[in-house]
Amino acid sequence: MLRNPIPEHVKVVDFGIRGFDLAYALMDSNFDLTILVDATAQGGSPGTLYTIEPNLAELEVGTESVSALEPHGMDPMRVFRLVKSMGGEFKKVMILGCEPQTFGPENEGYMGLSEPVQAAVDQAVSVLEKFFESNGQM
């Protein structure tokens, strides 16, 4: 997928739906840049990519608790609020989101990638590589 190898200073982790694990990894790190790659419904056509820089400075501290996180679900903004409420700090955070075709039936989910999302994977990799190149990371 990647045209270039992942540099040694870059850490790639698949957290899946483990919001607690992501929160504690963010607490234990001092990353200059954190990039989340995730499905995000923004109202576009399935497979549409979005580059989102959330405004974490305006997160309300104290609005999230550990009990507010779903153990089998991941809402990045809830994770960020939890990290901030525990005293964590962020430097730069980016989200590379892809519009899903479906999340599947409620309480069941959807395994795998739909055709439009699968077709967007190479483009997403290119976006990440260009982002790294423009930030002197790759």
Cα(first)–Cα(last) distance of the chain, in Å?
15
Higher-confidence position of 99 and 131: 99
Calculate mean pLDDT across residues 121-137. Answer: 80
Model confidence pLDDT, tens digit, residues 54-65 = 888 777 765 555
Per-residue confidence (pLDDT) for residue 138, from 0 to 100: 46
Smallest Cα–Cα separation from 22: which of 11, 9, 32? 11
Return the structure tokens found at 6.
């992942």
Amino acid in the structure at residue 69: L
Return the structure tokens found at 136.
């002197």
Return the structure tokens found at 92.
């730069």
Can you give the pTM of this predicted structure? 0.78
Q: Are 100 and 48 contacting, i.e. CB atoms less than 8 angstroms apart?
A: no
Q: Is the pLDDT of residue 23 over 80?
A: yes
Calculate mean pLDDT across residues 105-126. Answer: 83
| Residue at token pair 């309300």 | 60
- Return d(Cα 84, Cα 97) in angstroms, integer: 22
Count Cα atoms within 13 angstroms, Cβ side, for 39.
21
- Return d(Cα 51, Cα 35) in angstroms, integer: 10
Q: Please, which pLDDT band fits residue 71 given cuts at 50, 70 and 90?
A: low
- CATH number, span 19-134: 3.40.50.1450
pLDDT averaged over every residue in the chain:
80
Calculate mean pLDDT across residues 110-135. Answer: 84
Calculate mean pLDDT across residues 88-116. Answer: 82
**38-42, 55-59, 75-79, 130-134: lowest mean pLDDT where?**
130-134
